[in-house]
Amino acid sequence: MGTTSQTIGFLYPGYSAEDDYPAYQELLGGTPELRVVHTLMREDAHRVDALLDVGGADVLAEGARQLTGAAAVVWACTSGSFVFGWQGAEEQVAGVADASGVPASSTSFAFVNAARHLGVRRVAVAATYPEDVAGHFREFLATAGIEVLSLSSRGIVTAAEVGLLERADVIDFISENDHPEADAVLVPDTALHSAGLLADAEKRLGKPILTANQVSVWEGMRLAGEPLQRDGLGQLFASEAPAATTAVLPG
- Domain positions in the chain are 7-109+213-238, 115-211
Q: Are 140 and 169 in contact (CB under 8 A)?
A: no
Give the torsion sign (CA, 90, 55, 129, 161). positive
Q: Are 183 and 122 in contact (CB under 8 A)?
A: yes
Report domain 7-109+213-238's class. Answer: alpha beta
Q: What is the pTM for the complete model shown?
A: 0.92
242 pLDDT band, cuts 50/70/90, is low
Segment 199-239, tens digit of pLDDT: 999 999 999 999 999 999 999 999 999 999 998 899 999 98
Q: What b/e readout covers 20-56, taking b as 16+ CB neighbours within 10 angstroms?
A: bbebbbebbeeebbbbbbebebeebbbbeebbebbbb
Query: Is residue 4 over pLDDT 70?
Result: no
pLDDT > 90 fraction of the chain, expressed in percent and rounded: 73
Task: Please check whether the two domains, 7-109+213-238 and 115-211, share a CATH topology.
Answer: yes
| End-to-end CA, the chain | 23
CA distance 76 to 79: 10
pLDDT > 70 fraction of the chain, expressed in percent and rounded: 93
Q: How many CB atoms lie within 10 A of CB 117?
A: 21
Report domain 115-211's class. Answer: alpha beta
Segment 59-75, tens digit of pLDDT: 999 999 999 999 999 99
Q: How many CB atoms lie within 10 A of CB 139?
A: 13
Query: Tell me, what's the pLDDT at 245?
Result: 52
